[in-house]
Amino acid sequence: MTNPENCVFCDIVAGKTSAYKIYEDELSMCILDIHPYTKGHCLVISKRHVPWWHELTDEENTSLFKIAKIVSNKMMEKFKPDFIFLYARGRRIPHTHLFLIPTYSGDVLDKFFNALENFQESPQMLAGLKTPEQMEEATRLLKF
């Protein structure tokens, strides 16, 4: 596990670094991203230093995604976006965090995902991933 001593999110949770706090409970916290893609772009962070969301306890995951839902509903009400983009990170800053980004038709994220969807649907390399044989193999490997 990475060192929480050098983690900006751990410093925010501990009150050593300031942040624009939006919402929190005993396990998670939502803050504004200081490098926003759009107005209202937030991060939901676990209060415990864990690099990957799938390594959180069930209670921590419930908290993380509950706060994401609460804040997303507020974003929908106040900013009226087309949708709220959510994705989990932990790569650049190895501390679980969810991005919540109000997204609008034609903005940079909408264009990016439209391009990504077109890419996903077109190349032959990716087309092979959706054959019945490949889908059955992936199902076999992942199914419980």
pLDDT score recorded for residue 90: 66
What pLDDT does residue 111 have?
85
Nearest in space to 28 (alpha carbons), one of 82, 78, 87, 70: 70
For residue 114, give the amino acid letter: N
pTM tops 0.85 = no
Question: What domains does the chain contain, in order, with CATH numbers?
Answer: 4-104 (3.30.428.10), 106-144 (no CATH)
- The stretch 80-108 carries a mean pLDDT of 89
List phi, psi (to 5°) of 114: -65, -45
Model pLDDT for residues 37-53, shown as the tens digit of each residue? 889 999 999 999 999 89
Structure tokens at 60: 């921590």
Residue written as token pair 């940079």: 108
> What tokens does 35 get?
């490098």
The residues pairing with 99 across neighbouring beta strands, listed in sequence order, are 43, 87
Dihedral of CA 31/32/37/39: which sign?
positive
pLDDT per residue over 66-77, tens digit each? 999 999 999 999
Average pLDDT over every residue of 117-130 = 67
